[in-house]
Amino acid sequence: MIATVPFAWGDSLEGELGRPVGKRVTQCALSRICGVCGETLGRPIAFLGTQREVGRNAFHNPPMHVACAHTLLGRVGGTEIVLTAGFEFVRPARDDEDRRPTFQPNSLLA
């Protein structure tokens, strides 16, 4: 278990991780770095999400290393880990109710 606040949750209170910080989530997407440790991502890429996010294949949490994703299980509301070789970073449309961008894994790994 990591003791520090994960990279993308930088402004959240330790121990009470809420939503990741939007600016950092975008940074993770564009720089392809891990939302937990901030290091470059390899493959597979892990996404941590709720059952609903898994069902829609659209995640709000940033991409992570597999091991890093496991350290966040149960800390950020996500209950499932999905592995992928790549993802699309989808910014919300102007009329979307949810203004947060989503990550959409494009080649799920079993």
Binding residues for Zn ion, rule: CB under 5 A, are 34, 36-37, 65, 68
- What DSSP letter does each residue of 84-108 carry, written as one string? ES-EEEEPPPTT-S--S-EEEESSE
Closer of 42 and 92 to Zn ion (Cβ): 42
CB of 31 to Zn ion, least distance (A): 13
CB of 5 to Zn ion, least distance (A): 14
Helix (H, G, I), strand (E, B) or coil at 74: coil
Closer of 37 and 81 to Zn ion (Cβ): 37
- Identify whether the C-beta of residue 109 lies closer than 8 Å to the C-beta of residue 85: yes
CB of 93 to Zn ion, least distance (A): 30
Look at residues 53, 97, 71 and name the one whose alpha carbon lies nearest to residue 9. Answer: 71
Closer of 60 and 95 to Zn ion (Cβ): 60
